[in-house]
Amino acid sequence: MVRFETSLGAFTIDLFESDAPITVKNFLEYVDAGHFDGTVFHRVIPNFVVQGGGMTEDMRQKPTRTPIKNEASNGLKNRRGTLSMARTNDPDSATSQFFINLVDNAFLDPSPRNGAGYAVFGCVTEGMSVVDAMAKVKTGRRGQHDDVPAEPVKVVSAKRVAKEG
Protein backbone atom coordinates (compact mmCIF):
# COMPACT_ATOMS: atom_id res chain seq x y z
CA MET A 1 0.00 0.00 0.00
CA VAL A 2 1.07 3.59 -0.57
CA ARG A 3 0.01 6.66 1.40
CA PHE A 4 -0.06 10.02 -0.32
CA GLU A 5 0.14 13.13 1.88
CA THR A 6 -1.15 16.11 -0.10
CA SER A 7 -1.88 19.76 0.53
CA LEU A 8 -5.58 18.79 0.80
CA GLY A 9 -5.10 15.76 3.07
CA ALA A 10 -4.04 12.13 2.82
CA PHE A 11 -5.25 9.09 0.93
CA THR A 12 -4.08 5.49 0.83
CA ILE A 13 -4.01 3.16 -2.15
CA ASP A 14 -3.87 -0.60 -2.41
CA LEU A 15 -1.90 -1.97 -5.35
CA PHE A 16 -2.97 -4.93 -7.48
CA GLU A 17 0.41 -6.60 -7.88
CA SER A 18 -0.89 -9.96 -9.12
CA ASP A 19 -3.06 -8.30 -11.81
CA ALA A 20 -0.58 -5.62 -12.93
CA PRO A 21 2.93 -6.74 -11.89
CA ILE A 22 4.87 -4.55 -14.35
CA THR A 23 2.83 -1.47 -13.53
CA VAL A 24 2.98 -1.96 -9.76
CA LYS A 25 6.75 -2.58 -9.85
CA ASN A 26 7.21 0.60 -11.91
CA PHE A 27 4.96 2.66 -9.60
CA LEU A 28 6.75 1.44 -6.45
CA GLU A 29 10.14 2.26 -7.97
CA TYR A 30 8.94 5.85 -8.41
CA VAL A 31 7.54 5.87 -4.84
CA ASP A 32 10.78 4.51 -3.37
CA ALA A 33 12.85 7.05 -5.33
CA GLY A 34 10.77 9.93 -3.91
CA HIS A 35 9.72 10.89 -7.43
CA PHE A 36 6.17 11.90 -6.47
CA ASP A 37 7.25 14.12 -3.55
CA GLY A 38 6.92 17.75 -4.63
CA THR A 39 4.79 16.98 -7.68
CA VAL A 40 1.25 18.29 -8.16
CA PHE A 41 -2.05 16.93 -9.36
CA HIS A 42 -1.83 18.94 -12.57
CA ARG A 43 -5.03 17.85 -14.32
CA VAL A 44 -8.38 17.93 -12.56
CA ILE A 45 -11.59 17.23 -14.46
CA PRO A 46 -14.72 16.87 -12.28
CA ASN A 47 -16.78 13.73 -13.00
CA PHE A 48 -13.79 12.23 -14.79
CA VAL A 49 -10.27 12.06 -13.26
CA VAL A 50 -7.55 13.74 -11.22
CA GLN A 51 -4.09 13.20 -12.70
CA GLY A 52 -0.65 13.55 -11.21
CA GLY A 53 2.71 11.89 -10.89
CA GLY A 54 5.00 13.84 -13.14
CA MET A 55 4.67 17.62 -13.05
CA THR A 56 6.20 20.13 -10.68
CA GLU A 57 4.35 23.18 -9.40
CA ASP A 58 5.77 25.26 -12.27
CA MET A 59 4.31 22.71 -14.73
CA ARG A 60 7.63 21.17 -15.70
CA GLN A 61 7.76 17.45 -16.38
CA LYS A 62 10.09 15.55 -14.06
CA PRO A 63 12.54 13.14 -15.71
CA THR A 64 11.19 9.61 -16.02
CA ARG A 65 12.46 6.13 -16.68
CA THR A 66 11.74 4.01 -19.73
CA PRO A 67 8.03 3.55 -20.58
CA ILE A 68 6.38 0.28 -19.57
CA LYS A 69 4.17 -2.29 -21.28
CA ASN A 70 0.45 -1.54 -21.05
CA GLU A 71 -1.31 -4.06 -18.78
CA ALA A 72 -4.85 -2.78 -19.45
CA SER A 73 -5.96 -6.22 -20.61
CA ASN A 74 -5.69 -7.52 -17.00
CA GLY A 75 -9.48 -7.56 -16.60
CA LEU A 76 -9.64 -4.69 -14.09
CA LYS A 77 -12.07 -1.89 -14.90
CA ASN A 78 -11.68 1.90 -14.68
CA ARG A 79 -14.20 2.36 -11.88
CA ARG A 80 -14.55 5.11 -9.31
CA GLY A 81 -11.57 5.13 -6.96
CA THR A 82 -9.26 3.05 -9.15
CA LEU A 83 -5.82 4.21 -10.27
CA SER A 84 -4.68 3.82 -13.85
CA MET A 85 -1.55 4.76 -15.74
CA ALA A 86 -1.65 7.87 -17.90
CA ARG A 87 -0.06 7.52 -21.33
CA THR A 88 0.14 9.05 -24.79
CA ASN A 89 -1.59 7.59 -27.86
CA ASP A 90 1.09 4.87 -27.80
CA PRO A 91 -0.37 2.15 -25.53
CA ASP A 92 3.11 1.26 -24.20
CA SER A 93 4.14 4.82 -23.25
CA ALA A 94 3.25 5.06 -19.52
CA THR A 95 6.03 6.24 -17.21
CA SER A 96 5.22 7.95 -13.88
CA GLN A 97 1.92 9.75 -14.42
CA PHE A 98 -1.28 8.17 -13.14
CA PHE A 99 -4.89 9.16 -12.65
CA ILE A 100 -7.62 8.40 -10.15
CA ASN A 101 -11.05 7.77 -11.62
CA LEU A 102 -13.69 10.00 -10.03
CA VAL A 103 -16.52 8.04 -11.66
CA ASP A 104 -16.85 4.76 -13.56
CA ASN A 105 -15.04 5.39 -16.87
CA ALA A 106 -15.80 2.25 -18.91
CA PHE A 107 -14.68 4.00 -22.11
CA LEU A 108 -11.09 3.88 -20.72
CA ASP A 109 -11.18 0.07 -20.57
CA PRO A 110 -9.74 -1.90 -23.49
CA SER A 111 -12.23 -2.88 -26.18
CA PRO A 112 -12.28 -3.32 -29.95
CA ARG A 113 -13.93 0.09 -30.18
CA ASN A 114 -11.69 1.87 -27.64
CA GLY A 115 -8.36 0.25 -28.43
CA ALA A 116 -5.75 -0.71 -25.84
CA GLY A 117 -7.28 1.04 -22.83
CA TYR A 118 -5.67 2.35 -19.66
CA ALA A 119 -4.11 -0.03 -17.13
CA VAL A 120 -5.82 -0.18 -13.73
CA PHE A 121 -3.26 -1.07 -11.05
CA GLY A 122 -4.69 0.01 -7.71
CA CYS A 123 -7.54 1.64 -5.81
CA VAL A 124 -8.06 4.21 -3.09
CA THR A 125 -8.87 2.39 0.16
CA GLU A 126 -8.87 5.38 2.51
CA GLY A 127 -9.28 9.10 1.92
CA MET A 128 -11.47 9.14 -1.19
CA SER A 129 -12.99 12.30 0.32
CA VAL A 130 -9.58 13.98 -0.23
CA VAL A 131 -9.63 12.90 -3.89
CA ASP A 132 -13.20 14.22 -4.19
CA ALA A 133 -12.03 17.53 -2.66
CA MET A 134 -9.37 17.74 -5.39
CA ALA A 135 -12.16 17.42 -7.97
CA LYS A 136 -13.79 20.57 -6.57
CA VAL A 137 -10.83 22.94 -6.89
CA LYS A 138 -11.00 25.82 -9.36
CA THR A 139 -9.07 25.07 -12.55
CA GLY A 140 -7.94 26.94 -15.63
CA ARG A 141 -5.36 27.08 -18.38
CA ARG A 142 -1.68 27.40 -17.52
CA GLY A 143 0.70 27.63 -20.46
CA GLN A 144 -0.26 24.82 -22.81
CA HIS A 145 -2.08 22.87 -20.11
CA ASP A 146 -5.84 22.85 -19.47
CA ASP A 147 -7.68 21.80 -16.29
CA VAL A 148 -4.81 22.91 -14.01
CA PRO A 149 -5.75 23.74 -10.41
CA ALA A 150 -5.53 27.51 -9.77
CA GLU A 151 -4.15 26.70 -6.31
CA PRO A 152 -1.69 23.79 -6.68
CA VAL A 153 -2.67 20.46 -5.14
CA LYS A 154 0.77 19.38 -3.94
CA VAL A 155 2.05 15.92 -3.11
CA VAL A 156 4.02 16.36 0.11
CA SER A 157 5.05 12.70 0.16
CA ALA A 158 4.20 9.26 -1.18
CA LYS A 159 5.46 6.37 0.93
CA ARG A 160 4.90 2.65 1.29
CA VAL A 161 2.82 1.66 4.30
CA ALA A 162 2.00 -1.77 5.69
CA LYS A 163 -1.42 -3.27 5.13
CA GLU A 164 -3.50 -3.25 8.28
CA GLY A 165 -4.94 -6.48 9.56
Q: Please state, as a whole number, how many other Cβ atoms lie within 10 Å of the Cβ of residue 139.
A: 19
Q: Is the dihedral of CA 113, 102, 53, 26 positive or negative?
A: negative
- The predicted-structure confidence for 24-34, as pLDDT tens digits, reads as follows 999 999 999 99
- Please list, in sequence order, all residues whose beta carbon lies within 8 angstroms of the beta carbon of residue 135, skipping any fewer than 6 positions away: 44, 45, 46, 47, 50, 102
CATH class of segment(s) 2-160: mainly beta
Q: Examine the pLDDT at 99 and tell me if it is beyond 70.
A: yes
Q: Where in the chain are the domains?
A: 2-160
DSSP string, 47-61: TTEEEESSEETTSPB
Find the mean pLDDT for residues 73-101: 97
- The predicted-structure confidence for 106-153, as pLDDT tens digits, reads as follows 999 999 887 899 999 999 999 999 999 999 999 999 989 999 999 999
Give pLDDT, residue 90: 96
